[in-house]
Structure 1
């Protein structure tokens, strides 16, 4: 029985020695694999192509009678602007070229950073020029809709835009910053 126990323990020792040798060999081969990986030149990582942002056109010109003739939709009047808090900046006399002896007035108003110039006759007041830098008032929002519609007609955003009618009498020009209007100039036709 003693010999059976010794034989059994000898088999156990041999088996353990084989497993130990395999284990050390495995560790040894892992070490060489690690060493090879450390000395091998790194493979370049694949880079994703950057996503191209849409590029705004330098300038766009659109001919559209409606957009050029009614850039605000409903045009702001002197009375509306004054009731909304506009201040009178200047009143300049202007000789009427059609009625001899009649003196009209060029009235300039300032409203929330925007400037409006009206040609005032006894019977009516006509918008002569507007420079819009603040698009928050209702008339500015309506103008922004017009500018956006014109940009869509041009197939995308523009840095500078000009909208005119077929007779090239009414003009709206705008400068954009980051796809949004920064300054717009409205110049309706006046005789």
Structure 2
């Protein structure tokens, strides 16, 4: 009985496949394209003199991936804190409540802080502020100079031949993305892991 069931299902599958093939071939006949003669193509192109020519696609971005536990885990060396940033002229531009995943009923805060063109996002809990994300484009502040110094030594071999360097730690939890323009450090995105 089981053999009969398999045989009948195989016949049904084969009939369905044949039916689908016939339908697809019939549909394909209606979608045939006719090609314009070469003289009509040239005339059509000349009739649109203001049409812009599409530029060639830019060369593919070169990305180098490195593993460096100390740099991915502590890219600034000594990490900037909210009080230090505020004392040096930073502004809190946004505050957002955030439900604590580990303490029932506790609401923490996400702070967005801007300092001299750089943007920091901190997770503020009652006991401490944790860096959640940072985008650095100005390397003049002390934390920017420390970051640039640490990155230059780690990325020295990759910098002249690449556009981006992605540095991660062994566990693949912390990341630092480095962007170069014309061989010079342009921007850094720090993505520490927070639970």
TM-aligned CA deviation for residue 158 of structure 1: 2.5
Distance 1:166 1:85 in 2: 36
| Match of residue 103 from structure 1 | 107
Out of 57, 62, 69, the residue aligned to residue 66 of structure 2 is 62
TM-aligned CA deviation for residue 61 of structure 1: 0.8
Out of 76, 79, 83, the residue aligned to residue 83 of structure 2 is 79
Q: 8 Å contact 1:150–1:163 — kept in the other structure?
A: no
Out of 164, 173, 184, the residue aligned to residue 188 of structure 2 is 184
| Match of residue 12 from structure 1 | none
Query: Is 1:113 equivalent to 2:117 in the alignment?
Result: yes
Distance 2:160 2:179 in 1: 14
4+ long deviations beyond 3 Å: 153-157
Consecutive unaligned residues in structure 1, runs of 5 or more? 1-56
Within 5 Å, give how 1:27-176 maps onto structure 2. 58-152=62-156, 154=158, 157-176=161-180
Q: 8 Å contact 1:62–1:153 — kept in the other structure?
A: no
RMSD over equivalenced CA pairs, Å? 1.5
TM-aligned CA deviation for residue 164 of structure 1: 0.5
Consecutive unaligned residues in structure 2, runs of 5 or more? 1-60
Higher-Rg structure is 1
For each residue in 1:63-104, what CA deviation from the matched residue of structure 2 results, as whole angstroms up to 9, or x when unmatched?
Answer: 010010110011000010000000011000000000000000
TM-aligned CA deviation for residue 183 of structure 1: 1.2
Distance 2:125 2:157 in 1: 37
Distance 1:172 1:189 in 2: 11
Aligned residue for 2:120, secondary structure, equals strand
TM-score (norm 1): 0.67
